[in-house]
């Protein structure tokens, strides 16, 4: 299998997607705030962002304390040459394109006891917060970006997330 095929299989693997969604849930619901769980619709923005190398690099390059607005701001400020202003539309297009993959990833994460879905509240909670050791840097970057995105979304209500990222959930 070529390196390119291996990378493509890694990115379209629902097990990786499920693990990334688990880290998103961990970021949204840290151990000391377990009563606060991620709304299910937010999971549909995570994978189009963290599985896109360009967006993932921007997440990783944005300070955790700056929040989701600082990430989104990079799409609108001309001083950020690495990002075109219309690229934020790619996130909006990615949400429906990734919908089936996200659903499959949620199913894998639930079946493997990474996350749980509260059917009454439509909220996702992580089943544990243990770190994964000895993983390739490419996977670690996806998981780190996903967790950071979860942290940012925790501090932003659902309507504001949709507005900042120009997405409809």
What integer is the mean pLDDT of 68-79? Answer: 73
**Which one-letter DSSP state was computed for residue 114?**
S
**What is the per-residue pLDDT for 3?**
44
Per-residue buried b or exposed e for 79-117, using 16+ beta carbons within 10 Å of the residue's own CB: eeeebeeeebebbeebbeebeebbebbbebbbeeebbeb
Does the pLDDT value for residue 126 go beyond 80? Answer: yes
- Evaluate whether 26 touches 114 at the Cβ level (below 8 Å): no
Break the chain into its structural domains and give their ranges. Answer: 3-165
- Give the Cα separation of 155 and 148 in Å (integer): 11
Is 129 in a helix, a strand, or coil?
coil
Does the pLDDT value for residue 42 go beyond 50? Answer: yes
- Would you tell me the crossing angle of helices 88-97 and 43-50 to the nearest 10 degrees? 120
Is 138 in a helix, a strand, or coil?
helix
């Amino acid at each position: 299998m070529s390196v390119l095929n291996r990378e493509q299989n890694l990115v379209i693997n629902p097990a990786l997607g499920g693990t990334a969604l688990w880290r998103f849930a961990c970021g949204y619901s840290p151990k000391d705030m377990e009563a606060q769980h991620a709304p299910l619709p937010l999971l549909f923005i995570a994978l189009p962002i963290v599985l896109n190398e360009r967006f993932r690099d921007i997440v990783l390059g944005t300070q955790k304390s700056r929040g989701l607005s600082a990430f989104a701001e990079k799409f609108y400020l001309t001083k950020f040459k690495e990002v075109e202003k219309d690229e934020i539309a790619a996130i909006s297009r990615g949400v429906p394109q990734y919908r089936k993959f996200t659903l499959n990833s949620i199913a894998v994460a639930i079946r493997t006891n990474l996350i749980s879905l509260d059917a009454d509240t439509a909220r996702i909670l992580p089943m544990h917060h243990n770190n994964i050791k000895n993983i390739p840097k490419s996977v670690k970057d996806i998981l780190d970006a996903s967790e950071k995105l979860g942290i940012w979304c925790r501090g932003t209500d659902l309507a504001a997330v949709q507005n900042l990222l120009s997405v409809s959930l």
